[in-house]
Amino acid sequence: MKKTILTGALLGAAAALPAAAQDTLATVKERGMLNCQVGLPTPGFYALADDGTWSGMDVDMCRAVSAAIFGDPDMVEYQSVTSAVRFTALANAESDMLSRTTTWTAVRDTQLGLDFTLVNFYDGQGFLVPVDSGITSALDLDGATVCVLTGTTTELNLADYFRANEMEFTPVTNENVNVLVETYLGGGCDAYTNDKSGLAARRSAFPDPEAHVILPETVSKEPLGPVVRQGDDAWANIVRWVGFGLINAEELGVTSENVAEMAANPPSPNVARLLGAEGNIGEEMGLEPDFMVDVISAVGNYGEMYERHIETGIGIPRAGSLNAMWTEGGILYAPPFR
Amino acid sequence: MAPKVFVPSPDRPPPVDTSGPLVWIRRNLFRDVPNTLMTLLGAYIAVTFVTAVVDWALIDAVWQAESRRECLDLVGRSGACWPGVFVWFENLIYGLYPKDQVWRINTGFLLLVVWMVPLWMPRVVSKVAIGLSAVMLYPFLASYFFLGGEKGLVWTALIAAGLWGLIWVWATALTETLTGKSVGTWLIGRLGRSGADEATQMRIRRGAALALFVVSVLLVAPAEFVEVRTQFWGGLFLTLVISGIGITFSLPAGILLALGRRSKMPVVATLCTVFIELFRSVPLITILFMFNTMLPLFLPAGTEVNQLVRAIVAVCLFAAAYMAEIIRGGLQAIPSGQYEAATSLGLGYWQTTTQVVLPQALKIMIPAIVGNFIGLFKDTTLVSIIGLFDLMNMARAVGEDSNWLGLFIEPFFVVTLIYFVFCFAMSCYSMNLERKLSAGRERS
């Protein structure tokens, strides 16, 4: 009995230790740099240009947090890490946050010592097939050979979907997207499966994009968003509310162009609160009262980010997708900034 | 009885050609039917392969385009799309190192070449010292060129030691080539103190070395380079840094471990054996993961050990364990007569080892050692898995650039060529070394 108590106490102490020890905001301020983890270069979300600069939807999230803390979006050190070690790098405090198309799942949220802050992109897995194969639905794929990235939720979803529909398939796996695409184009598999945003981006780079079609079925839910280490709620709040702030800014019509003007003469109390002219939301979070002004001037609002990186960047339209604003038929909905 | 008359036997048919290219071809390629078939098949495969590669890489290739889309519109997938590789070429070599600072990398490697040149100068005697100085002192000098930034007192002294080494190497090379004397002797001669007693001469030598060091410090102190954090290092540069350090560390460490494992002192022998067996029985990738992700968990919170340093340490330890076993193989090939002979001459352990055993053992092991170096050079590609942008990872990044999305055969083709050049050069150098060292016991 005593032993149990002792063990329990030790475990409790171990669990309490990181919570007591970490103050990520202070660490980041002291370092003068935000360590933001992205993945291996991926167009649209975290793309690496030949001049060494990073850009993309998830990179903008890092820049937004940096702008909120330092008033400067470029105080970010990008850590490009493979998916295999992404959570460890966050857990061992090498990264302050993780902004890299990571799907929010129960296991990851509850068992890995992570906190998912918000969903800033709704994705879902789909299938890409050649038009002349005559396949028009994923249910026609019985017996097909499917190219799939190994070691991802994609691979598991694929197996689940085929099992649920009592269909057979042969997987062709690789850990390099380009190899899979090349296999698919060379006829090595009948279909290529990945998140639909990825499928669209790859298809646009095919020799003949019109010869391939993304099937209508979405076989999985992939809510993607920034992740922080569990146990530092103040830090999680900062990341979460910078994200929600970006979505609210779009809803309220605050853009990178009119933000200065709106901060000077807020057209509504909501805008005034968002931009720090009223209330003390920023101060209570340990930031400047007008931190959202810096954020929005640096990266724009959510709509601007999407337009820049996803819509023109990799050619995925927003209208009609889940990522449209809730007022426009999508499910993008942020709690009020008040 | 008829007289015996010499009757010459009839002429033999003229001899078949035994030399010349035609004979060689007939003998080796078309001796009989299966042989001929094999030759034709081989030639067919070779021609098809070579023409396919040449067609793809040269004839059908696109040399000027703004994006992969343009390449695809021009030739589809039948020809290579080189412009993407051109745009990224600098990144393949230098990684994400700031473009206006790239000269520092070039200078750093040039310094190494300058440092090593005396090793090939025929009249230079102190080659061992020069080689040692390159291993021990050059890294300090190079580290400042590559990394830059704020340098504390200790680091300034170390960089100055590097510069000191470089100046000493060339002073030695020049005096030995021109006068045949070591730099100290030459200096004492110039000062007209050749007749002075040994203690005075030693004082002069030390004084000169100290003066040179002070000059180096004064030269180094004002130099200021912008800091380029290791996160921006990449490409061939990073590959060379990791494998270079791994190679230079693994040889001496391997020698020590091998000697330790054969030592008669039980503690040393056990420790060395445990270390070697531990690192040899775990794959490199596991060690890299361990050092990269697990190590920070064991360290006290707040200690940040640079990711590159962790990777380099992992590679060094792994390489040292393998090298130790290669060297041990070489040590075992030395007949015990050599040890006994050395002992009977009154040589101690270190004298026996460094003067008699190691020179022979290392010579036998050259092919295996260089083979290990080449393997290590290629193994460093594994660091791409822990997110370092080495040559392989950089090549992969090309195909993820939105302008060049999907372009991956071309960059990997180029990377293959780069690896081939480096490995083949190492291989050639080792063969050359073997020939040179075994000139005395050539057998045929």
Q: What is the 3-state secondary structure (H, E, C) of chain A?
A: CHHHHHHHHHHHHHHHHHHHHCCHHHHHHHHCCEEEEECCCECCCEEECCCCCEECHHHHHHHHHHHHHHCCCCCEEEEECCHHHHHHHHHCCCCCEECCCCECCHHHHHHCCEEECCCCEEECEEEEEEHHHCCCCHHHHCCEEEEEECCCHHHHHHHHHHHHCCCCEEEEEECCHHHHHHHHHCCCCCEEEEEHHHHHHHHHCCCCHHHEEECCCCCCCEEECCEEECCCHHHHHHHHHHHHHHHHHHHHCCCCCCHHHHHHCCCCHHHHHHCCCCCCHHHHCCCCCCHHHHHHHHHCCHHHHHHHHHHHHHCCCCCCCCCCEHHHCCCECCCCCC
> Per the domain annotation, does A338 fall within a domain?
no
- State whether A148 and A179 are in the same domain: yes
B388 DSSP 8-state letter: -
Q: Which residue in this structure is represented by tokens 């030399």?
A: B19
Q: Distance from CA of residue B172 to its chain's centroid?
A: 25
Torsion of Cα atoms, B270 then B272 then B277 then B282, to 10°: 130
Cβ separation of B401 and A41 shorter than 8 Å? yes
Angle separating helix axes B138-147 and B127-136, nearest 10 degrees:
40
- State whether A186 and A244 are in the same domain: no
pLDDT above 60 for B405: yes
Q: Chain B interface, mutation test: which of A33, A36, A48, A88, most B Cβ atoms within 10 Å?
A: A48
CA proximity to A232, closest of A327, A60, A64, A117: A117
B76 CB near a chain A CB, below 8 Å? yes
B74 CB near a chain A CB, below 8 Å? no
| Residue B256 φ/ψ, nearest 5 degrees | -60, -45
* Residue of chain A minimizing CA distance to B296: A92
> Per the domain annotation, does A11 fall within a domain?
no
Domain extent, residue A141, equals: 125-220
Partner residue facing B406 (CB), from A22, A178, A313: A178
> Per the domain annotation, does A12 fall within a domain?
no
> Per the domain annotation, does A17 fall within a domain?
no
Cβ separation of A48 and B401 shorter than 8 Å? yes
DSSP string, B419-435: HHHHHHHHHHHHHHHHH
Query: In angstroms, what separates the C-alpha of B86 from chain A's closest C-alpha?
Result: 10
- The reported pLDDT for the residue numbered A154 is 87
A207 CB near a chain B CB, below 8 Å? yes
Percentage of residues of chain A with pLDDT beyond 70: 93
Query: CB contacts < 8 Å between A and B, how many?
Result: 97
- State whether A118 and A192 are in the same domain: no
Average pLDDT over residues B226-249: 92
| Residue A224 φ/ψ, nearest 5 degrees | -110, 145
Last residue of a domain, one of A171, A190, A220: A220
Q: State the CB neighbour count (10 A cutoff) for residue B147.
A: 16
> Per the domain annotation, does A131 fall within a domain?
yes
B231 CB near a chain A CB, below 8 Å? yes
Q: C-alpha angle B416/B420/B424, rounded to 5°?
A: 175
What is d(CA A142, CA A153) in angstroms, rounded to the nearest whole number?
Answer: 21
Cβ separation of B387 and A81 shorter than 8 Å? yes
Cβ separation of B297 and A92 shorter than 8 Å? yes
- State whether A117 and A251 are in the same domain: yes
Number of domains making up chain A:
2
Cβ separation of A41 and B400 shorter than 8 Å? yes
Query: In angstroms, what separates the C-alpha of B387 from chain A's closest C-alpha?
Result: 5
As a whole number, the mean pLDDT across chain B is 89
- The reported pLDDT for the residue numbered B335 is 93
The model's pLDDT over B253-285, given as tens digits with 9 standing for 90+, comes to 999 999 999 999 999 999 999 999 999 999 998
- State whether A236 and A175 are in the same domain: no
- The reported pLDDT for the residue numbered A14 is 38
- State whether A37 and A112 are in the same domain: yes
Last residue of a domain, one of A165, A187, A220: A220
Q: Taking a C-beta distance cutoff of 8 angstroms, is the pair B372, B322 a contact?
A: yes
A23 CB near a chain B CB, below 8 Å? no
- State whether A88 and A143 are in the same domain: no
Q: Chain B interface, mutation test: which of A50, A58, A79, most B Cβ atoms within 10 Å?
A: A50
What is d(CA A69, CA B7) in angstroms, rounded to the nearest whole number?
Answer: 115
Partner residue facing B406 (CB), from A92, A202, A314: A202
Q: From chain A, pick out residues whose CB is under 8 angstroms from the CB of B387.
A: 40, 79-82, 85
B400 CB near a chain A CB, below 8 Å? yes
Cβ separation of A49 and B293 shorter than 8 Å? no
Cβ separation of B386 and A85 shorter than 8 Å? yes
Q: What is the pTM of this model?
A: 0.85
- Domain containing A194 — which CATH number? 3.40.190.10
Cβ separation of A49 and B387 shorter than 8 Å? no
- The reported pLDDT for the residue numbered A1 is 36
Cβ separation of A80 and B396 shorter than 8 Å? no
Q: From chain B, pick out residues whose CB is under 8 angstroms from the CB of A202.
A: 405-406
pLDDT above 90 for B181: no
> Per the domain annotation, does A284 fall within a domain?
yes
CA proximity to A323, closest of A300, A303, A338: A303
- State whether A314 and A239 are in the same domain: yes
- The reported pLDDT for the residue numbered B78 is 87
Reading chain A (338 residues) residue by residue, the pLDDT tens digits are 344 443 343 333 334 344 445 789 999 999 999 999 999 888 899 999 888 899 999 999 999 999 999 999 999 999 888 887 888 889 888 899 999 999 999 999 999 999 999 999 999 999 999 999 999 999 999 999 999 988 678 888 999 999 999 999 999 998 888 889 989 999 999 999 999 988 988 888 888 889 999 999 999 999 999 999 999 999 999 999 999 999 999 999 999 999 999 999 999 999 999 999 988 999 999 999 999 999 999 999 999 999 999 998 888 889 988 999 999 999 999 999 98
Partner residue facing B401 (CB), from A22, A47, A185: A47
A178 CB near a chain B CB, below 8 Å? yes
A7 CB near a chain B CB, below 8 Å? no
Token reading at B434 = 């073997």
* Residue of chain B minimizing CA distance to A77: B231
A312 CB near a chain B CB, below 8 Å? no
- State whether A114 and A248 are in the same domain: yes
DSSP string, B59-107: IS-B---SSHHHHHHHHTTSS-BHHHHHHHHHHHHHBT--GGGHHHHHH
> Per the domain annotation, does A71 fall within a domain?
yes
Last residue of a domain, one of A220, A243, A274: A220
Cβ separation of A84 and B385 shorter than 8 Å? yes
B233 DSSP 8-state letter: B
Q: Taking a C-beta distance cutoff of 8 angstroms, is the pair B234, B219 a contact?
A: no
Helix, strand or coil, per DSSP, at residue B390 = strand
Percentage of residues of chain B with pLDDT beyond 70: 98
> Per the domain annotation, does A335 fall within a domain?
no
Q: From chain B, pick out residues whose CB is under 8 angstroms from the CB of A92.
A: 293, 296-297
Please report which helix (H) or strand (E) contains residue B389, including its range: none
Query: In angstroms, what separates the C-alpha of B406 from chain A's closest C-alpha?
Result: 6
- State whether A209 and A274 are in the same domain: no
A81 CB near a chain B CB, below 8 Å? yes
- The reported pLDDT for the residue numbered B151 is 84
pLDDT above 80 for B164: yes
- State whether A31 and A86 are in the same domain: yes
Cβ separation of B406 and A51 shorter than 8 Å? no
pLDDT above 70 for B173: yes
Q: From chain B, pick out residues whose CB is under 8 angstroms from the CB of A40.
A: 387, 393, 396-397, 400
- State whether A67 and A210 are in the same domain: no
CA proximity to A127, closest of A194, A190, A175: A194
B149 CB near a chain A CB, below 8 Å? no
